[in-house]
């Protein structure tokens, strides 16, 4: 961020989530696509094979049906010469047998299971018709010629019936009676053939004949063609048996397949997402917790528990961090001890220096008084009177010095302390001669701080007094606030005084460092130490000409 470029923060959890999802879903998508493609290809191939089989069976059915028609016609032709009534009717034109003749084809048709049968003489005249009983005597030589010319092949023929033409698959046979030839034309209905050829509900069988019927298979449906011949009025024409296999079943299977695949993939996606979230969370959460814990590590404060008991990598990091913190804490202790020792040494030297400074006038006065008593004892009282003020000043100095050093000795008691009350006392005491300078912004209903009320008072006395003293002749303002913090209470003491330079700020809490002409340099040093005794924390922000703010964190 320092360079001003905006970067998108991608957390470890997000990365883990994306990685896991991609790792699982991409292969799954490939698998689903591949399975679907393969199954569809097999279904289509099976569909085509089935249609081929249907077409093959249809050709066989057609041939079998043609043979069966021929067989039945042959049976009728064999029986006719032995039928005396029939012979009488056709050869002798016996009127008594005429009705028998007219009904003969119908009876034969019923016996043989044919759908059409007509008996014609050599001129083509219909002698008896089974499918159209009263069509007798109608000449139909053209049909007879066409059907007879087809020899061993069955033809499609549109046969007359009373109601509507009947499309039939027909063949012809003949017989000779007393030198006269008679013909039989018979067959089965195309509808029956269609029903027989049809295999299952998914197969449609259409007959295209006489080139008037154009069978248009449904869009997308596959079809096969079985070729036939159709006997038109005078010629033979091509006809077709069109077998259409509906794709509805195939489409249904594909839909079912898609549903299963979508269901499987959807379930897998949900499962992977849940697992990925769980896994990413299980990876990132310990690290986030560890990171959060590290922010609470204070070398001078209480120990912060880290998840060192974990057996995984996070546990390893935690253990190393804990060890590092331990070592840092030990080093800090040593450093503080060293500082303390240094401070004691400095203080000893300072005390030595200060005592010497106090003792030097006394020693000089005593030497002077010794000289006077040896040289002129009578003038000793006068000399003592002259030098007494020096002695008193030195003693007072030493006394003051002793009191000041006495302030360096802490004595802590623990009790609930109303911080706001202490703030108000300190402000009243410190601003006795500076009314109106200090402004309070206190948050009520704060929890009590457990510590020494005198210590808290001393801390605030020092901070408030320092703030008031930092103001110059032009005046200014001191603001004291209190507020609740996650750990306890935050107190700030701000002034609009001259502020500190960076150098001054760096040594603000050092012993005996002062910027004031009459300061001891122990005020803020004592404040820091007392704050530490309360397990609190103090920090300062300041800039020249912009005032100073001390922030005091006190645990509740």
Partner 1 sequence: MSVQGRPVTVITTGTVLPAHAKAPANAAEQFLFDRAYETLVRADCRGRIVPQLAQRWTRNTDGFTFVLRGDARFWNGAPVTAADVIASWRASPSARVRALVDSSSAGNERTLSIATADSSVARFAAAGTAVTRESAERWPMGTGRYGIVESGGAVVLEPTFPTAARIEIRTATGVAARDAIDAGADVVLSGDPSILSYALRDTSRTAVDLEWDRTWALLVPGDATEDQSIATLRASLANDAVRAIARPAAVPDWVNDDASCPERAAPPRAPKRIAYSADDAIARAIVERLVAVGRGSAAAPLAPAAFATAVRDGTESAFVVGMPYHADRRCTTAALVPLIDARWQMVVRKRP
The one among 40, 98, 465, 498 contacting partner 1 by CB under 8 A? 98
99 counts as binding partner 1 under rule CB under 8 A: yes
Compute the least distance from the CB of residue 162 to partner 1, in Å.
4
The binder of partner 1 chosen from 163, 309, 472, 473 (CB under 8 A): 163
To the nearest whole angstrom, how small is the minimum distance from the Cβ of residue 109 to partner 1? 15
The yes or no reply on residue 125 touching partner 1 (CB under 8 A) is no
Contact segment (CB under 8 A) with partner 1 among 94-102, 286-294, 310-318, 500-508 equals 94-102
The CB-of-173 to partner 1 minimum distance in angstroms stands at 23
Assess 512 for contact with partner 1 (CB under 8 A).
no
Q: Are 549 and 540 in contact (CB under 8 A)?
A: yes
Q: How far apart are CA 52 and CA 60, in angstroms?
A: 12
Q: Does 214 bind partner 1 (CB under 8 A)?
A: no
Whole-Å CA distances, 100 to 90, 105, 112, 380: 10, 9, 18, 190
Q: In what order do the strands lie in the sheet with 155-159?
A: 126-129, 116-121, 180-189, 166-177, 155-159, 222-231, 236-245, 203-208
> CB 164 → partner 1: shortest distance, Å?
6
User: Which of the ranges 81-89, 157-165, 182-190, 357-365 carries the binding residues for partner 1, by CB under 8 A?
Assistant: 157-165
Best CA proximity match to 459, nearest among 492, 500, 498: 492
> What are 167's strand-pairing partners?
158
- Which phi-psi region, left, alpha or beta, contains residue 52 (left: φ > 0; alpha: ψ -120 to 50)? alpha
Does residue number 134 form part of the binding site for partner 1 (CB under 8 A)? yes
The 17-46 site mask, x for binding partner 1 (CB under 8 A), equals ------------------------------
Q: Residue 161 burial by CB count (10 A; 0-12/13-18/19+): exposed, middle or buried?
A: middle
- Specify the stretch interacting with partner 1 by CB under 8 A; choose among 135-143, 298-306, 361-369, 459-467: 135-143
Q: If phi over 0 gives left and psi between -120 and 50 gives alpha, with beta otherwise, what is residue 377? A: alpha
Q: Please give the torsion angle defined by the CA atoms of residues 102, 108, 109 and 110, in that order, rounded to the nearest 10 degrees.
A: 110
C-beta separation of 388 from 368 below 8 A: no
d(CA 26, CA 535): 56
**Residue with Cβ nearer partner 1 (95 or 377):** 95
Map the footprint of partner 1 across residues 345-404, applying CB under 8 A: none
117/463 with CB nearer partner 1: 117
Q: Of residues 55, 73, 76, 102, which one binds partner 1 by CB under 8 A?
A: 102
Determine the Cα angle at 507 with ends 504 and 508, to 5°.
75
- In terms of Cα–Cα distance, which of 457, 479, 468 is closest to 527? 457
Name the minimum Å distance from CB 163 to partner 1: 5
Q: Is 84 in the site for partner 1 (CB under 8 A)?
A: no
Token pair of 433 as six digits: 């001669």
Q: CB 234 → partner 1: shortest distance, Å?
A: 19
Q: Pick from 47, 86, 104, 132: which binds partner 1 (CB under 8 A)?
A: 132
Q: What long-range pairs does 321-330 form, CB within 8 A, spacing at least 24?
A: 321/290, 321/294, 321/297, 325/297, 325/299, 328/299, 329/299
- List 59, 87, 138, 310, residue binding partner 1 (CB under 8 A): 138
Q: Tell me whether residue 163 or residue 374 sits nearer to partner 1 (CB atom).
A: 163
Residue 126 contacts residue 135 (beta carbons within 8 Å): yes
Q: Determine, following the binding rule CB under 8 A, whether residue 136 of this chain makes contact with partner 1.
A: yes
Q: For partner 1, which residue of 59, 133, 196, 281 counts as binding (CB under 8 A)?
A: 133
Locate 335 and state its tokens: 């450093």
Per CB under 8 A, does 465 bind partner 1? no
The stretch near partner 1 (CB under 8 A) out of 162-170, 175-183, 196-204, 519-527 is: 162-170
Task: Choose between 99 and 176: whose C-beta lies nearer to partner 1.
Answer: 99
Binding status of residue 233 toward partner 1 by CB under 8 A: no
SS3 track for 365-403: HHHHHHHHHHHCHHHHHHHHHHHHHHHHHHHHHHHHHHH
> Which of the ranges 95-103, 182-190, 236-244, 392-400 carries the binding residues for partner 1, by CB under 8 A?
95-103
| Stretch touching partner 1 by CB under 8 A, among 32-40, 128-136, 305-313, 470-478 | 128-136
The nearest distance, CB 213 to partner 1, in angstroms, is 20
Within a 10 A sphere around the Cβ of 311, how many other Cβ atoms?
7
Stretch that binds partner 1, among 132-140, 151-159, 321-329, 425-433 (CB under 8 A): 132-140
CB atoms within 10 A of CB 468: 19
Dihedral of CA atoms 276, 277, 279, 285 in degrees, nearest 10, equals: 150
CA separation (Å) from 214 to 232, 265, 282, 305?
16, 45, 70, 89
Task: Pull the structure tokens for residue 490.
Answer: 């935050």
310 binds partner 1 (CB under 8 A): no
The least CB distance from residue 122 to partner 1, in Å, is 21
- The site for partner 1, by CB under 8 A, has a size of 14
Phi and psi at residue 327, to the nearest 5°: -65, -40
> Position of tokens 């449609």?
204
Kindly tell me which of 138 and 196 has the beta carbon lying closer to partner 1: 138
Residues constituting the chain: 556
Alpha-carbon distance of 437 to 395, in angstroms, equals 37
Select from 4, 162, 179, 545 the one that contacts partner 1 (CB under 8 A).
162
Residues forming the site for partner 1 (CB under 8 A): 95, 98-99, 102, 132-136, 138, 160, 162-164
């Amino acid at each position: 961020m320092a360079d001003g470029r905006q970067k998108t923060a991608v957390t470890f959890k997000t990365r883990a989530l994306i990685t896991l999802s991609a790792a699982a879903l991409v292969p799954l998508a490939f698998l689903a696509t591949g399975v679907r493609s393969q199954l569809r290809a097999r279904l289509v191939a099976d569909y085509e094979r089935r249609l081929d089989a249907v077409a093959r069976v249809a050709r066989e059915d057609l041939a079998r049906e043609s043979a069966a028609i021929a067989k039945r016609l042959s049976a009728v032709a064999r029986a006719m010469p032995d039928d005396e009534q029939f012979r009488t009717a056709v050869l002798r034109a016996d009127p008594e047998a005429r009705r028998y003749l007219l009904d003969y084809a119908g009876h034969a048709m019923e016996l043989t299971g044919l759908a059409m049968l007509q008996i014609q003489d050599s001129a083509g005249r219909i002698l008896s018709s089974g499918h159209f009983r009263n069509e007798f005597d109608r000449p139909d030589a053209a049909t007879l010629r066409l059907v007879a010319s087809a020899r061993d092949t069955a033809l499609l023929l549109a046969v007359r019936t009373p109601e509507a033409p009947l499309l039939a698959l027909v063949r012809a046979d003949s017989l000779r009676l007393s030198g006269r030839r008679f013909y039989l034309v018979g067959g089965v209905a195309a509808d029956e053939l269609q029903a027989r050829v049809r295999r299952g509900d998914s197969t449609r069988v259409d007959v295209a004949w006489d080139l008037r019927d154009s069978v248009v298979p449904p869009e997308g449906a596959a079809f096969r063609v079985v070729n036939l011949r159709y006997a038109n009025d005078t010629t033979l024409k091509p006809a077709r048996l069109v077998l259409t296999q509906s794709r509805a079943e195939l489409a249904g299977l594909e839909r079912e397949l898609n549903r299963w695949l979508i269901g499987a993939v959807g379930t897998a996606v949900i499962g992977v997402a849940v697992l990925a979230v769980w896994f990413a969370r299980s990876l990132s959460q310990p690290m986030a917790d560890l990171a959060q814990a590290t922010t609470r590590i204070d070398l001078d404060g209480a120990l912060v528990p880290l998840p060192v008991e974990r057996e995984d990598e996070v546990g390893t990091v935690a253990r190393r961090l804990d060890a590092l913190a331990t070592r840092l804490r030990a080093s800090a202790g040593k450093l503080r001890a060293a500082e303390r020792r240094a401070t004691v040494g400095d203080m000893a030297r300072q005390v030595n220096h200060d005592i010497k400074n106090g003792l030097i006038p006394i020693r000089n006065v005593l030497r002077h008084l010794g000289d006077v008593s040896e040289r002129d004892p009578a003038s000793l009282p006068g000399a003592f009177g002259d030098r007494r003020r020096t002695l008193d000043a030195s003693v007072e100095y030493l006394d003051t010095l002793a009191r000041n050093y006495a302030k360096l000795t802490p004595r802590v008691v623990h009790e609930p302390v109303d911080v706001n009350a202490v703030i108000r006392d300190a402000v009243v005491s410190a601003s006795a001669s500076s009314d109106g300078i200090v402004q309070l912004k206190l948050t009520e209903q704060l929890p009590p701080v457990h510590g020494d009320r005198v210590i808290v008072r001393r801390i605030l006395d020092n901070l408030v007094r320092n703030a008031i003293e930092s103001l110059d002749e032009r005046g200014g303002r001191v603001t004291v606030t209190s507020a609740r913090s996650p750990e306890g209470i935050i107190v700030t003491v701000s002034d609009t005084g001259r502020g500190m330079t960076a150098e001054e700020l760096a040594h603000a809490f050092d012993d005996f460092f002062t910027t004031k002409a009459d300061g001891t340099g122990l005020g803020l040093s004592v404040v820091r130490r007392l704050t530490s005794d309360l397990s609190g924390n103090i920090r300062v922000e300041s800039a020249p000409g912009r005032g100073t703010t001390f922030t005091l964190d006190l645990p509740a």
